[in-house]
A and B are shown apart, each in its own frame.
Chain A
Amino acid sequence: MNAPIMTINNLKMYFPVQKSKGKPVYVKAVDGVDLTIYKGEIMGLVGESGSGKSTLAYTVMGMYKPTGGQIIFQGRDISMSSDKRPLSLKKDLQIVFQDPGSSLNPSHNIRQILELPLRVHKIVKREEMERKITQILQMVELSPNYMYKSPASMGGGERQMVSIARALATDPTFIILDEPTSALDVSIQAKIINMLLKLQQEKQLTYLFITHDLSLMRNIATRVAIMYLGKICEMADTVEFFRNPLHPYTRMLLSSIPVVSEEEEALKPKKVISTGEIPSPVNVPPGCSFHLRCPEKTELCFREDPVMLEVSPGHLVRCHAYQKTAGVNVA
């Protein structure tokens, strides 16, 4: 396997919400995440809304200063907020947001939008700006006459192409994709995904792909991690992950996916019926945070939070059910 490009150690991101009896109360959006991302892979980070997957991305981008833990990117510690990071580092780390309608400035045209990163990072001289922008637009298969269009006059798919072009403008090595296609129709999603895959091949990029769509991850990710209430509960190589899902939450997610063919139906875990909702991250239940919804909970789950365990090489799961069997194996 390739060398790690980013290592996240016990990352914590708490937000204060209100004070109760003089003590501040926190939303534990990200609560102790360990994640290693290798060069050239597509890491799929999957979770429901409120699981903290976007907060994780924003913390990596430096939009927040982490409450605790460490982020190491290309051998350098970047656990500080964005304004303290060196410019050269920001150039290597880019993000594409979920909603292209609100992440592109509506009063700028496409040229102005793409010009900004080029100017900030002093990538080309003023005279060459136009040629460079044409080149960037070509990378995402948009014709140069898009340069003077405004975001409002474009379709959702094309807008997202511009967002991707903006992220590519600084020639980064690592791109975070925060649900880049969830606001789009499937036929457009397919186009964007194919383009992202092509760019990843051509430019040797590493992606952290955040989504709630497991079927999409099945097709493009090299590894998948599932997040629930600020913690990762299962992580494995994609093939192993879908062949042998272990965590009860993963099985619940898989069984909830609406599919379009019989073959897919056969792959879904049977007899797992989804119940309950994700609890508020302000009052995380004691013990395992999933025990309220878990069909296989035991008395131990109410008391103790399980730790991450490697059940087979590269397949990690955080559940008491596997802790016990592993303990027996060791004995």
Chain B
Amino acid sequence: MSNPVLEIKNLHVWYRTYGGYSRVLDGVNLHVYKGEKVGLVGEAGCGKTTTMRSVLRILPEGQAHIPEGQILYHGNDILKMKPRELQQVRTRGISMIFQEPAAALNPVFTVGTQMFDVIKYSGLSKEESRKDNIKRLAIQAIKEVYIPDPERILNCYPNQLSGGMKQRICIAMAIVTARELLIADEPGTSLDVTIQDQVHRLLRGLVEKKEMSLIMITHSLGVARELTDRIYVMYAGNIVEVARTSDLFANPLHPYTLGLLSSVPKLTGGGVAEGIYGRIPDYLRPPGGCRFHPRCPRAVQRCREEKPLLRDLGDGHQVACFQV
């Protein structure tokens, strides 16, 4: 296969707090090929958003500290880029959709103003960035996300739109100019299930049509199953299992993945499972060895002392666990 579009190698991110360093990410490895749809699944607070924010270098400055790791975009390390190069990546390479559409849009500017700004600063040539061309691109993008009457929408303020429409506008902004990689951070989470379904179908359709790569951050295994080719399961700042989507659901291996899968209420009925004992660790004093061991039903002495690394069990199915 060709080189990956994005490759994260052994990424560590710490946050500075009053109590000391909060060691959130603990060696994350992840890669995405061209045209691939990848899911990053984990519970709240496991570091999914931190990972993706560090890709765009939009972590809170002064608080976040990256002691180790590389984020390679076409082989160039984003963490070492100069502002100019970084600007290139942000305007042409990678775009991101945020979880809360209401917070991602500025309430005091019209949708049109905000969209025109995105297009204006996306590195178009002088000829292309004429006013009428910008407007044409914006209208086309709004049409692509199936919102009727784009001209009227451009003059609307975000509070005049419903949650589903706002999220569609955010998607339109992310795809309005050609990008290689789209990072979607729980785009459906704050929406109702029927609207979420529409947004996800739209997103998949657009990514496939434009041959983009997609990283889908979600806490829902069901959403990841419907949208992605390959899934990374994340727990407490570590990737614990990687597999093709069909393999992961047919043959989940890591105890955390198993616990997560059994906790999901099923449409087939049969009651609710027990859940996973305990909760996500305190990052100021994370447990030694495997970070999952205090909650793991299969933990042995070795898990407390040594950190398991991802091992390939064939066919790209990787697990970080001694017991598998």
Q: Within 8 Å CB of A220, what residues of B?
A: 271-272
B268 engages A185 (CB within 8 Å): no
A260 engages B266 (CB within 8 Å): yes
**Contact residue among B43, B162, B193, B226 (Cβ-Cβ distance under 8 Å from A253):** B193
| Chain B residue at smallest Cβ distance from A51 | B192
A283: shortest Cβ distance to chain B, in Å? 14
Within 8 A of A (CB), among B132-188: 162, 164-165
Q: Mark A229-264, 1 if CB is under 8 A from B, else 0.
A: 000000000110010000000001111111111011
Q: Within 8 Å CB of B162, what residues of A?
A: 277
A187 engages B260 (CB within 8 Å): yes
Q: Does A107 contact B (CB under 8 A)?
A: no
Q: Does B263 contact A (CB under 8 A)?
A: yes
- Given contacts A260-B249, A274-B197, A190 and B272 within 8 Å (CB-CB): yes
B193 engages A256 (CB within 8 Å): yes
Within 8 A of A (CB), among B253-308: 259-276, 279
Q: Which of B54-62, B65-73, B120-128, B214-222 contacts A (4 or more CB under 8 A)?
A: B214-222
Once bound together, how far apart are the Cα atoms of A215 and B193, in whole Å? Answer: 12
| Chain B residue at smallest Cβ distance from A279 | B162
Q: Does B320 contact A (CB under 8 A)?
A: no
Q: Within 8 Å CB of A258, what residues of B?
A: 196-197, 200, 220, 222-223, 225-226
In which size bucket is the chain B interface? 35 or more
Once bound together, how far apart are the Cα atoms of A217 and B269, in whole Å? Answer: 9
Q: Does B44 contact A (CB under 8 A)?
A: yes
A245: shortest Cβ distance to chain B, in Å? 11
Q: Within 8 Å CB of A219, what residues of B?
A: 265-266, 269-272
Q: Within 8 Å CB of B164, what residues of A?
A: 277
Once bound together, how far apart are the Cα atoms of A186 and B222, in whole Å? Answer: 12
Once bound together, how far apart are the Cα atoms of A53 and B164, in whole Å? Answer: 20
Most chain-B CB neighbours within 10 Å: which of A157, A197, A257?
A257
- Given contacts A185-B219, A259-B225, A278 and B192 within 8 Å (CB-CB): yes
Q: Within 8 Å CB of B226, what residues of A?
A: 258
A157 engages B265 (CB within 8 Å): no
A190 engages B279 (CB within 8 Å): no
Q: Mark B198-231, 1 if CB is under 8 A from A, else 0.
A: 1011000000000000000001111101100000
Chain A interface residues (CB < 8 Å from chain B): 48-49, 155-157, 185-191, 193-194, 197, 212-216, 218-220, 238-239, 242, 252-261, 263-264, 267-268, 273-275, 277-278
Chain B interface residues (CB < 8 Å from chain A): 43-44, 162, 164-165, 192-198, 200-201, 219-223, 225-226, 249, 259-276, 279
List 4 tightest A-B contacts by C-beta distance, closest first: A258-B222, A190-B275, A256-B197, A191-B275
